[in-house]
Amino acid sequence: MSDRIFGAVGLILALGYAWAALIIEESFLSDAVGPKAFPLIIAAVLGLSSLVIFFKPDTAPHWPALPRLMEVGAAILVMVLYAILLPELGFVIATALAATYLTWRLGTRPLSSVVSGCLTSLGIYAVFHLVLGLSLARGPLGF
Amino acid sequence: METLSSLADGFVIALTWQNLLLALLGCFLGTMMGALPGLGPSNGVAILIPLAFTLGLGATPSLILLTSVYYGAMYGGRISSILLNIPGDEPAMMTCLDGYPMAKKGRAGEALSLSGIASFVGAFLATWGLILLAPQLVKIALLFGPAEYFALFTLAFATLGGVASTNQAKTAFAAALGIGLATVGVDTQTGVPRFTFGEVHLYDGIDFLVAIVGLFALSEVFLFLEHRHGNADASGHKVTVGRLMPSWSLLKSCTPTMLRSSFLGFLAGVLPGAGASLGSFIAYTFEKKLVDKEGTFGTGDPRGVAAPEAGNNAAAGGALVPMLALGVPGSGTTAVLLAVLLALNITPGPLLFTQQPDVVWGLIAALFIANVMLLLMNIPMIGLFTRVLLIPPRILMPIVAMVSFVGIYGISGSSFDLLVMVGFGVLGWVLRKLDVPLVPIILGTLLGNAMENNLRRAITIDNGDWFALIDSPLSIGLWTLAVIGFLLPIIFGKVVKARMRHMAKDEEGSTID
């Protein structure tokens, strides 16, 4: 079943890609092939392989139960938040929060997670910023 | 003779204090990453690429650092195979078969140092193979025109799934997806934007480094989250290492095995689509057929440890041949190394050898240096590396995730790239669940543009005639190979994969008994 859905999504993707290729505005100065041909070939390969996947599916993988899936979803959300908030909060705070969350969710006790998260953040800050001189996001507090 | 003097020049370049330190650092980090289950050579190199950049290293030093990581990870993979019966990375799978039984008999130390020596022999011989074979391949590659290159790229994609691939449709899908991603951005030949949907951030295309780190490193974090209570926690296993140095007689009895396995592994590495996993598999099965008369393979025979390790390290060296000489990588990790080269503005391929010989020979010299360092490091410091295995993944994985973020943010300083990376992480996780290989995606994003440019150049030269693609015997040959390479796994793939699985399973059964 998973592969059927995957094949269908792939096919939609291929069609969308082909459509997006067809509406590329060509400039008046173009080579013999133009900017559309190659993407159309790729769209064909994408579509054909999606069809094969749809009609000859493999055995379905083992999908995690809903709570596990939520777990992964929450981690994705935390990473997205991290990406958005990094410039606002500054590197050290944002990283400590994100690392604490991930460590906790991977099965560490809450208190140890806070310690480990803070150490991870400070460690990376020390190695990458103070030693290697990489410029990391500066928050309102200057770090 | 010319080769030797070039090699000497290479050593002059590689033997500076900075480069030696970088090689040392790379070997150390690489061995650690290889040893940790879940972090293989591709992941290891992927995470460190942004680091090499942000450090502002030049081309040769960055390459030295990252190839040391590559070789180091190939060495490191064996440690957890032998001690925990969990392969540190895929090529180390075959090492479990005899390595773990040896460790159970109290000969873990011997197994570790023997496999270290076998790795050295394999990698050392393969580096010589690289020196001898790559310049010959360059001579052939100089005959290639755009049409031949287009055919060569197709060949690389067609064979990437490898002989053990089970579903070629998924490989093709992954390759097309990768190439499709590469076409996002302003068209290099006519200057029109493609697939950007008016988003300014997409005009210069999707940075392949962002894609690589997301697909490889972040998806690994998601997999760990999903199997939180899996068997990845290393604590609880306690294996006594025992005597470290193998006796001379043991080494002597394994020497022919190492030599044969190195040769087979190197061949498997050079051939497109085979790679290190297959190298160790072929080496092990061949040795088993040839010397296993008493049926001791699988019960802790030292030769069964030496064969796959020599094989996979030789394959790692062999895989560098097509990558450097043709610019077409034959395996996942070399694809990541290609990303390094492209990001450094070095185009691998035949011209690299004539235009930037210092990069090539410096790199080759660095391989020798890394190899010696790894041998020296791996025998006395084995205790340190085994302790690394005790760091639980629940602490380690967040660090991996955060370092990935830092690396990408360090390059561009943009939140947008981080979001794209998270997107790739999710994509990588879903695709891995669905058994879609990730390497073709990476290779597609890397080579997509070059592939399209060669296609358009070939056809433009012939005034728009598409038959220009199959004009020369060379390109017809390449197309034929591509078709055969793509179809062969559909016929034999299931058999090979089943045999690999079958052997691994048999051993698991017998170790429990």
- Mean predicted confidence (pLDDT) in B216-243: 66
Is residue A75 within 8 Å of residue B228, measured between CB atoms?
no
Closest CA to B10 of B374, B373, B369, B372: B369
- pLDDT band of residue A7 (cuts 50, 70, 90) is very high
Query: Which of B183, B412, B441 is best to mutate for the A interface (most A CBs within 10 A)?
Result: B183
Least-confidence region, from B116-125, B325-334, B370-379, B395-404: B325-334
Chain A hits for B52, Cβ within 8 Å: none
Residues 75-114 of A with CB under 8 A from B: 75-76, 79-80, 82-84, 86-87, 91, 95, 98-99, 102-103, 105-108
Q: Which long-range contacts (CB under 8 A, 24 or more apart) does B191-199 make?
A: B191/A27, B192/A24, B192/A25, B192/A26, B192/A27, B192/A35, B194/A20, B194/A21, B194/A24, B194/A35, B194/A39, B195/A17, B195/A20, B195/A21, B195/A39
Tell me the pTM: 0.82
The answer to whether residue A2 neighbours chain B at the CB level (below 8 Å) is yes
Say whether residue A73 is in contact with chain B using an 8 A CB cutoff. no
Q: B427-453 pLDDT, tens per residue?
A: 999 998 888 888 888 888 888 888 898
Looking at residue B239, what is its pLDDT? 58
In chain B, what residues touch A6 (CB-CB under 8 Å)?
A: 434
Place of tokens 């030696």: B20
Report the distance separating Cα A14 and Cα B396, nearest Å.
38
> Per-residue pLDDT averaged across B418-423, rounded?
92
Determine what percent of chain B is predicted with pLDDT higher than 90.
6
Asked if A131 has any chain B CB less than 8 Å from its own CB, the reply is no
Q: How far is B419 from chain A (nearest CA, A)?
A: 6
Rounded Cα distance, B407 and B49, in Å: 8
- A34-38, B63-67, B175-179 — most confident range: B175-179
Work out the pLDDT band at B275, boundaries 50, 70, 90: low
**Per-residue pLDDT at B238 exceeds 70:** no
Q: How confident is the model over B154-160, as a mean pLDDT?
A: 82
Q: Is the pLDDT of residue B512 over 50?
A: no
* Min distance B363 CA to chain A CA atoms (Å): 24
Specify the residue for token string 């800050």: A125
* A52, A72, A75: residue with CB nearest B169: A52
pLDDT, residue B38, reads: 65
Closest Cα in chain A, distance from residue B47 (Å): 14
Predicted pLDDT at B220: 82
* Residue-wise pLDDT tens digits, A82-132: 999 988 888 889 999 999 998 888 888 888 899 989 998 998 888 877 777
Question: Mutate which of A108, A115, A128 to test chain B, going by most B C-beta atoms within 10 A?
Answer: A128
CB–CB contact A27 B191 (8 Å): yes
CB–CB contact B425 A79 (8 Å): yes
For residues A44-57, give the mean pLDDT. Answer: 91
Q: What is the ipTM for the molecules in this complex? A: 0.91
Answer yes or no: is pLDDT of B509 > 50: no
Split at pLDDT 50, 70, 90, the class of B88 is low
Q: What is the pLDDT of residue B242?
A: 66
Structural domain count, chain B: 1
Strand partners for B186: B193
DSSP B191-260: --EES-TT-GGGTT---HHHHHHIIIIIHHHHHHHHTTTSTT--TT--------SPPHHHHHHHHHHHHH
Give dist(CA A45, CA B481) in Å, integer: 19
Chain segment B4-36, per-residue pLDDT in tens: 888 888 888 888 888 888 888 888 888 888 877
CB contacts < 8 A, A to B, total 184
Mean local confidence (pLDDT), B155-181: 81
Where does residue B479 fall: left (phi above 0), alpha (psi -120 to 50 degrees), or beta otherwise? Answer: alpha
Q: How far apart are CA B49 and CA B195, in angstroms?
A: 27
- Asked if A35 and B189 come within 8 Å (Cβ–Cβ), the reply is yes
Strand partners, B194: B185
Q: Find the CB nearest B410 among A27, A58, A134.
A: A134
| Interface contact flag, B55 A132, Cβ < 8 Å | yes
pLDDT of B136 over the 80 cut: yes
Question: Does the pLDDT at position A55 exceed 80?
Answer: yes
Band (B235; pLDDT cuts 50, 70, 90) = very low
Q: Which domain holds residue B223?
A: 2-512
Subunit contact B434:A3, Cβ cutoff 8 A: yes
Asked if residues B419 and B264 have their Cβ atoms less than 8 Å apart, the reply is: no
Residue B421: list chain A partners with CB under 8 A: 83
Kindly list the residues from chain B whose CB atom is less than 8 angstroms away from the CB atom of residue A102: 221, 225, 397-398, 401
Question: What is the distance of C-alpha B198 from the center of its chain?
Answer: 37
Instruction: Tell me the pLDDT band of B180, cut-offs 50, 70 and 90.
Output: very high
Candidates A42, A72, A106; nearest CB to B397: A106
Q: Would you kindly state where each structural domain of chain A is located, as residue ranges?
A: 2-55, 66-131
Q: Which of B165-169, B229-233, B247-251, B367-371 has the lowest mean pLDDT?
A: B229-233
Q: Do A63 and B464 touch (CB under 8 A)?
A: no
pLDDT at res. A143: 65
Distance of CA B256 to the CA centre of its chain: 26
Average pLDDT for chain B: 81
Contact B368/B23 with Cβ under 8 angstroms? no
Residues of B in contact with A82 (CB under 8 A): 405, 418
Which residues on neighbouring strands pair with residue B193, listed in sequence order?
A: B186
Given this model, what pLDDT does residue B29 score? 85
User: Is 50 exceeded by the pLDDT of residue B331?
Assistant: yes
**Are A117 and B409 in contact (CB < 8 Å)?**
no
Facing B406 at nearest CB: one of A3, A20, A128: A128
**Beta bridge partner(s), residue B185:** B194
In terms of pLDDT, which residue wins out, B413 or B266? B266
Looking up tokens 């996993």, which residue turns up?
B277
State whether B190 and A35 contact (CB < 8 Å): yes
Among chain B residues, the shortest Cα distance to A133 is held by B55
| CA neighbor of B372 nearest in space, from B5, B23, B13 | B23
Q: What is the mean pLDDT of residues B267-271?
A: 83
Check B409 against A136: CB less than 8 A apart.
Answer: yes
Closest-CA residue to B123 (of B391, B312, B305, B308): B312
Q: Which of A35, A42, A132 has the CB atom closest to B192's CB atom? A: A35
Residue B164 has pLDDT above 60, yes or no: no
